[in-house]
Structure 1
Amino acid sequence: MEPGKNIAIKVPLYRWDETVAFYRDKVGLKVTRELENSTGFSFGSMTLWIDRVPHQSQTDVWIELFDDAPETALAALGTPRRDELEPLDGVTGHWTCDPAGTVILLRKNA
């Protein structure tokens, strides 16, 4: 396994604008992509996504790991499959989480 290319901070609707402004204006990260519910920032060799999640009440950090065999890696980790979290359109892999509850996208590098 190796680190992926993305880190996401899932932010409640009422905190999204100020969180995006914080990373853009105070931290000084460069905006690389803007979507309706997501803003991507250059974060070293990764992209830091600030995602607006209307139905969420607290902030979560989600990370990405790459593995050539995500199914085998999931079994080796012994962590739960959490594919109900978000659709995985066009991605070979699974959502899971660490013991502390940090969401992990364990996927094959496309």
Structure 2
Amino acid sequence: MKPGKNIAIKVPLHRWEDTVTFYRDQVGLKVARELDESTGFEFGGMTLWIDKVRHQSQTDVWIELFDDNPDAALAALGSPQRDELEPLNGVTGHWTSDPAGTVILLRKETAA
């Protein structure tokens, strides 16, 4: 396993705009991509996504790990499969979490 290219901060609707402004204006990160519900910032070799979550009351951090065999990696971690969290359209992998509850996208890296 190795670190992926994305990290996401899932932010409640009422905190989203201020959080995006903070990372853009106070921290000075360059916007890499803007979507309706998410803003991605250049963050070293990664993209830091600030995602708007309408029905959430607290902030969560979600990370990404790459592995050539996500099924075997999930078994080796002994972590729960949590694929109900978000659709995995076109992704070979699984949602899981660490013992503290941090959500992890464990997936096969695709060619760029």
**Shorter-chain TM-score: which interval?**
over 0.9
TM (normalized to structure 2)? Answer: 0.98
> Which residue of structure 2 lines up, in the alignment, with residue 103 of structure 1?
103
Structure 1 position 29, deviation (Å): 0.2
Structure-2 separation of matches of 1:102 and 1:2: 16
> Which residue of structure 2 lines up, in the alignment, with residue 3 of structure 1?
3
Structure-2 separation of matches of 1:64 and 1:70: 12
- Structure 1 unaligned runs (5+)? none
User: How is 1:29-108 mapped onto 2 (pairs within 5 angstroms)?
Assistant: 29-108=29-108
Structure-2 separation of matches of 1:48 and 1:56: 19
User: How is 1:9-24 mapped onto 2 (pairs within 5 angstroms)?
Assistant: 9-24=9-24
- Aligned to 2:75, the other structure's residue is in SS state helix
Aligned pair count reads 110
Structure-2 separation of matches of 1:57 and 1:88: 24
- Structure 2 unaligned runs (5+)? none
Structure-2 separation of matches of 1:86 and 1:39: 17
Structure-2 separation of matches of 1:86 and 1:57: 17
Structure-1 separation of matches of 2:4 and 2:83: 18
Q: Percent identity?
A: 80
Structure-1 separation of matches of 2:46 and 2:60: 18
Tell me which amino acid in the other structure corresponds to 2:28. Answer: G
- Aligned to 1:32, the other structure's residue is in SS state strand
- 4+ residue runs over 6 A deviation: none
